[in-house]
Amino acid sequence: MTTKTLWRPVGPEELALIEQTGMKAFPPRLPEQPIFYPVTTEGYAIKIARDWNVKASGSGYVTEFEIETGFLSNYDVEDAGGKEHQEYWIPAEDLPAFNGAIVGKIRVTHEFKPEATE
């Protein structure tokens, strides 16, 4: 089986839900979240976690995981603002199948907190 490494920037609430699965699955999307978007580069995930998740949620995390390439072949890589900003757009209803195609565990590779001011 061939796998591909993807990343997903998350806030503390989503990370807690991932932890509840034993680091094996991403939580269902909320009604206002019709798309699940894992990203194709660690740098892009870091930027989102650091620059967006920290401001929105108080902290940001980068998760990394392996997924079967056969499953991903059903989806196109979407350009979200340049070659460095590419992601997959997985419809919310496909997330259970996406989770089933994850190989191994989801790992947290980076954590970001607000910078202390003096």
In sequence order, which residues have a C-beta less than 8 Å from that of residue 95 and are 6 or more positions away? 26, 28, 29, 36
Report the CATH number that the domain containing residue 43 is assigned in CATH.
Answer: 3.20.170
Question: What are the φ/ψ torsions at residue 110 (nearest 5 degrees)?
Answer: -145, 145
Kindly state the average pLDDT of the residues 73-88. Answer: 88
Q: In this structure, what token pair is assigned to residue 60?
A: 């940001």
Q: In this structure, what token pair is assigned to residue 63?
A: 């998760």
Q: Does the pTM exceed 0.75? A: yes
Q: What is the pLDDT of residues 19-53, one digit of tens each?
A: 999 999 999 999 999 999 999 999 999 999 999 99
Share of the chain above pLDDT 90, in %: 87
Residue 27 lies in a domain: yes
How many domains are there within the chain?
A: 1
Residue 117 lies in a domain: no
What element of type H or E holds 98? helix 95-100
Q: Tell me how far apart the alpha carbons of residues 58 and 52 are, in angstroms, rounded to a whole number.
A: 10
Q: What is the residue range of 34's domain?
A: 3-112
Kindly state the average pLDDT of the residues 43-64. Answer: 95
Distance of CA 61 to the CA centre of its chain: 9
